Every structure is written in structure tokens, then in C-alpha cells.
Amino acid sequence: MSLQIRPATSEDLYAVVGLLQSRKLPVAGFADLLRAQPEHVRIAELNGLVVGSAALDVRDGNGLLRSVAVAHDLASLGVGTRLVNDLIAQARQADLTALYLLTTTAAAWFPKFGFTVTDRSAVPAALANTIEFTSACPASATVMRCSLAAPVTDGAALPDIQP
């Protein structure tokens, strides 16, 4: 019994949509995202079954984290954490500036990844025009942002002093 995190394929579509629906998450636009940006969709698979998902909708140097879902019976085992960490690492590798997300139920869970609450007006237009922002998520959803700027080290914080 081994959990595997892997890129999604078109064959995963129905399983992921079923998972998202079981967790009462929006499915609008997910199929289009999987077709357009399959490299940004991750699946958690256990014994051949899709038990988790997470996706990044990448636009103009930023990403919208969406479709983070884990099967009810595995929700406390760190599957979601592994999926989100995998996508954050991918976003950093791709030199994205920031990640954004919308949530109605998990605003207390995302700060451990560096997400903080922000205002809808602060979301870049390319993301604000996605189906998630325009119709799939309610206006009451919490908007969160995670900066992907490289962490400052002690040496990098020191001024360059010339003799």
C-alpha cells in the first residue's frame, strides 16, 4: 500500500471530478485546465485509486491554486500537504511571483504554506478573470496569497559596502 503523487492525465478526469464533487468543490473549468495545463495538475493515487488532487492555473507569472481535495478517509494523513507542497515547489521552479486561492472552508489550513488573506482587488487581472473568480466560487470566499519570492538569507540582507 503506497501513496504516489504524480502528474494527472486525461484518464484521471472523471475520478478527480468525482472527488471534487464529494468535497463540495467547484468543478467548473477543471477539464479545460487539465487539457490546457496538464503539467500543473497533481494526483495522489493509492492502490490505483485517485485519492487526492491539486492544480495550478498559471497565468501571466502567477498561479491560482485550485482543486485541492483529499478523500474523506485520508484527509488527516498529510496527502493534501504533500500535493500543495509539490505544486508550490513547481511554482518556484517556474519563477512564478505568487500563488492565489479561494476557499470557503480551509482558510485556517493554508497559512502553514505561507498563504495570507488578501483582498480580491489585489488579485492580478489574469487570475481575477478565471472561472474560479468570476462564477465558480462565491463572492464570500476568502482570497489568499502566497509570495514565492526567494527567502532572504543573512548574507543577502547585508548592504554591498565598497572600500
Q: Which pLDDT band holds residue 76 (cuts at 50, 70, 90)?
A: confident
Quick: pLDDT tens for 9-48.
999 999 999 999 999 999 999 999 999 999 999 999 999 9
Q: What's the rounded mean pLDDT across residues 71-78?
A: 87
Q: Where are the alpha helices (DSSP H) in 29-156?
A: 30-36, 79-93, 125-128, 131
Q: What is the pLDDT of residue 2?
A: 83
Domains of the chain in start order, with CATH, are 3-147 (3.40.630.30)
53 three-state secondary structure: strand
Q: What is the pLDDT of residue 158?
A: 40
Quick: pLDDT tens for 103-147.
999 999 999 999 999 999 999 999 999 999 999 988 899 999 999
Q: Which pLDDT band holds residue 1 (cuts at 50, 70, 90)?
A: low
Distance CA 67, CA 88 (A): 14
Q: Which residues pair with 69 in a beta bridge?
A: 53
